[in-house]
Structure 1
Amino acid sequence: MKKRGVKTPKDRRNSGIEDDPSRVAGLNVQDKSPVQSIDDYQCCGSLDVDFPEVCALLGMTEIPEVTLRPRTTGSQTTEQSPMEGSQSNVTNGAEPAPWVPKPRLHVELEIEEDPCSAREVRVLGWKVDESIARAMNKTLPSMSNLQRLHLWRVGLTERTLTSLKNTVSLCHSLRTVALEGTPLPEQCFHLLMAEDSKLVHLSLRNNRIGEEGARLIGRALSTPRTANGSLLSLNLTFNPLGDAGAEHIAKGLRLNRTLLCLSLGSNHIGDVGAGYLAEVLGPFTLNQEEIVERRRLLGMKDLTLSADSKNECPASIPSSSSLDRNLTKGSKTASKRKSPPKKEEKHTPNQVGGAAGKKEEPKLFKKGLDTKLETAEVPERVSPLLDTEAQHSEGRVILPGNNVLTALNLSGNRLTEQSLHLFLKAVKEQDEGGGLLRLSLSRNCFPLLNCDTYLKIQEVMKRKDPLNKNLPGPLALLSPEEKRRHKKLAKDLLLHGRPRFGEER
């Protein structure tokens, strides 16, 4: 039911007010009364209505258009694996497309006739300045169905990225963010991976993230005291991380037990960086900082157990004479406090317990609900440093490796067969059915068709993955183009001892 004076977005489009932009600017959606600032503006949840009005209130002369379109089956969904589409034509490492001359927000609707059902917003190829970021911070949180935000080549700064981070935290349903083709001198992409972040999927492809950015991202994944507990997939494809950046990412994987999929394709990673990643998959020795934090956590655990044991100690048992005196005193007190019998209540049809019963029922329900809320406890995340399977050997503390990560993409790097032995050892040591289930190693410096270590890794992956048990071998799944490329690489290795970079492989 609409309130008096309230018009829905559909009514506003049919009312003719939008024909005059000067009249649209500064009008509130609820009551058409002019507002002085965006703080007074009340969003209706329809971006094609809210965004132009908020931009007008900010004094913008050129307001980006908002295009609504229904959901298409070919569009990427939030459930799509981050390992898929990593070779996108949009950000395939080549020179990006020029800026779009006319800024426009592309909005994908869940329901075609409902502008308030937007599930995805795309900003492609035009700069998001502070005014646009402010307008997005005002309008996007009112979109209750918004699940995905895709930003490509939007020219952010540290200030606008901080505003974007605040916007993302205010959107209750937003779980997927793709920020691609947007290099930042400060490389502060880790702001989107804060400990309190609710993002589940994050893509940071083609952002020129180097060693410093990788260090910040690795610390956002985990430190001895903190860890990201929401992110399930992270795509860092087409970033020059190098071996030093891979080492920082591997440090972040040591104590992170949430991330499932990690894509490091085309990151200039060699055998040294791959060695750090392979090491964290198997048992590893704790460093000094991790040992200190483990001792602190164990001390806190002992204090908690001792406090609980004191609270559970039984009280002193009273003597039989004192029990007799208490029983006699209690019986006398009870006889004095006998209340007179209550009058019988009248029962009306379709009513149980009369009026009194009708009043007491909500109280009982409320009391029971409060009791449940008080007794319900949020389970605390146990630090991997307290893993019961930790082993002690020669004064070292050895922790089981990261057995949560299920998909790792290292295609398009500079790995040789030397680092493959480390991955083969790591995947063999992981539990059956756990650990890595998919390891992408194509387009590296070894021939897939003639590399025994690679074939052994694929066989281990095939045995561990229940979905691959009835499929043919990995080589039978290669396309003709991939087979031609691998034959060319094998020929280069045979003739020159190394792949001939710069040519089609």
Structure 2
Amino acid sequence: MGRRGERPLKGSASNWNLSPEPYTCTGNFQDDFFEIWRRLSDGSIPQPIVRPRRHPPFMEDEDLKPSCHGEEEDCAISPDTYHVVDKREFFKPNIQFELDGDDTKHAKRTSVKIIHVKGWTITNDVIAVLQRCVLDKLSTLNLWNAGLTEETFNKVTEFIQATPTVHTIAIEGNAIPDSEPFADLMGKSIKHLSLRNNEITDAGAKKIGEALGSPHRVPPDLENLNLAFNRISDEGAIAIANGLRMNRSLVSLSLASNRISDEGAKSLADCLNTFVLSHEEVVARRKMMSHRVVIPRTASSQGSKRGARSGSNRVLQADKNRLGTREKSKAGDKPTKKYDKPKKDSSKTPPKTPSTTVRAKSNKSSGRGRLLDTGDTASSDFNDQSHPLLSRGIEILEGKICMPGCNTLLSLNLARNRIGSDGLKCLLTSIKRQESYVESEDLAYVTPGLLKLSLNKNVVPHDDELYLELFHLMRSKNPLKNDIIVE
């Protein structure tokens, strides 16, 4: 021990957690991470290295690209397209980051856009330091083989929820077999989510299906979901298909390299076109319609006579007050009589809303059934529905309430599964129905439906008649006309 009054040596264990003043982040991610780690850590865990993510030089600098001279037709890429890293530094835990753009190259503040953690176990201390750094422009978080547990996963979820700019998450190679809480990541701001190789079973797929959409909750804004290389069977595929019934935001779904057979493929095919609402969905729809905020009808809209009279009386009384005030202010004019009625101003009459016109067109164009009324069509929020159960395309077919399927899904990857001819036939039927709805210009189907379908390495061979028919059908729907859509 040192003498009394002697200061501890710099870098010793007694110097940890010495924070005489609260630290204010400077905006430089590397410096802020080092300083916050020095103040929070107890020295038992080595500090991870924070460094920029390196790219090949030809991707970063245009001057390093090879140039052709003379009559040479082919240019060889320079072999110096790699970075040499010391092995002692290479195997140490490191946090790689990418900056926001060129605007931060010469500034003291480095706005981090992407964070990568790969190949080492992330701890609560690392997450706590990240929470205190300034990451107001962070958009992507990639955790590959980071050894997440249920505790650290909850910490990561809290960090993502506290950073609303994050819209892309890739958590791959992090199996949490007991709870499988991956559905907690499907928040309102998340657009792209990759959960590959996490050993997700049917129990985890059921939670993901409920988070995708249900009759009792607003579906998330998720656009891309990757569930490849997991352990999802028919039961999990059915749960995901039930979530797609109430989802109109998902564009791309990958279920490649799982254990899905004909039963799961049939459920996924059924949710792509018109389906009958269940009793639970009908009850939930009626509750949503009863709790909607309806704008009071004006005198010109088609409402009750009492509402029209009360609305016109209020307008008339307000005009009387304004007219009386204007007449009194004029010197020498006689005051207006008590029962003089103002002239009707046609400019105050609210115009007809476009929703009424759209409803008339939809009733004429859709000859498949009778459309159901969803409440006040003059409401301004009618076109911005928060739940698919309030969709305008819901109709009655043969005495049953039917709803348009998930026609927003454009890409479906079912490669390397166990799908046979029965599942292939159901997928072919659903895609044909989607195409017929689009060709009939049905307003309930404003998107083209499924455009890309991957079915390679399943039970059905590539020379099967059903496979060839589906191949040519999907190729005709390809907007690019140069790529093979069915693989």
TM-score by length of 1: 0.67
Residue 451 of structure 2, aligned match among 434, 437, 458: 437
Question: Is 1:48 aligned to 2:30, yes or no?
Answer: yes
Q: How does 1:38-437 map to 2 (within 5 A)?
A: 40-61=22-43, 62-69=46-53, 102-109=92-99, 110-111=101-102, 116-139=110-133, 142-184=134-176, 185-194=178-187, 197-301=188-292, 304=294, 310=307, 313-315=311-313, 331-335=327-331, 380-430=384-434, 431-432=438-439, 434-437=448-451
Gaps of 5+ in 1: 1-19, 28-33, 76-99, 337-375, 479-505
Q: Deviations over 1:375-422 (max 9, x none)?
A: x99984342212222222344211111100000100010111211110
Confirm or deny: 8 A CA contact 2:213 2:220 kept in the other structure: no
* Letter of the structure 1 residue corresponding to residue 50 of structure 2: V
Confirm or deny: 8 A CA contact 2:452 2:485 kept in the other structure: no
Instruction: Give, in whole Å, the separation in 1 of the partners of 2:210 and 2:57.
Output: 37
Confirm or deny: 8 A CA contact 2:227 2:255 kept in the other structure: yes
Confirm or deny: 8 A CA contact 2:211 2:220 kept in the other structure: no
Instruction: Give, in whole Å, the separation in 2 of the partners of 1:149 and 1:257.
Output: 25
Runs of 4+ more than 4 Å apart: 20-23, 70-75, 111-115, 305-309, 316-319, 325-330, 376-380, 472-475
Residue 479 of structure 2, aligned match among 460, 466, 469: 466
Cα 1:378–1:327 change in 2 (3 A) is: closer
Cα 1:315–1:408 change in 2 (3 A) is: same
- Which deviates more from structure 2 when the two are superposed, residues 128-137 or residues 284-293? 128-137
* Letter of the structure 1 residue corresponding to residue 51 of structure 2: T
Show the counterpart of 2:469. 456
Cα 1:64–1:473 change in 2 (3 A) is: closer
Instruction: Give, in whole Å, the separation in 1 of the partners of 2:214 and 2:246.
Output: 7
Q: Secondary structure at the match of 1:331?
A: helix
- Aligned pair count reads 375
Confirm or deny: 8 A CA contact 2:453 2:485 kept in the other structure: no
* Letter of the structure 1 residue corresponding to residue 35 of structure 2: E
* Letter of the structure 1 residue corresponding to residue 29 of structure 2: L
Instruction: Give, in whole Å, the separation in 1 of the partners of 2:38 and 2:147.
Output: 22
Q: How does 1:17-56 map to 2 (within 5 A)?
A: 21=11, 35=19, 40-56=22-38
Instruction: Give, in whole Å, the separation in 2 of the partners of 1:328 and 1:386.
Output: 47
* Letter of the structure 2 residue corresponding to residue 64 of structure 1: P
1:108 Cα shift?
A: 2.4
Show the counterpart of 2:460. 446
Gaps of 5+ in 2: 1-9, 60-89, 333-379, 440-446
Confirm or deny: 8 A CA contact 2:289 2:390 kept in the other structure: yes
Q: Secondary structure at the match of 2:425?
A: helix
Instruction: Give, in whole Å, the separation in 1 of the partners of 2:54 and 2:37.
Output: 24
1:151 Cα shift?
A: 0.2
Instruction: Give, in whole Å, the separation in 2 of the partners of 1:316 and 1:49.
Output: 65
Percent of residue pairs identical: 32
* Letter of the structure 1 residue corresponding to residue 469 of structure 2: K
Q: Secondary structure at the match of 1:273?
A: helix
Write 1 or 2 for the structure with the bigger share of helix.
Answer: 1
Confirm or deny: 8 A CA contact 1:233 1:262 kept in the other structure: yes
Q: Secondary structure at the match of 2:115?
A: strand
Cα 1:329–1:408 change in 2 (3 A) is: closer
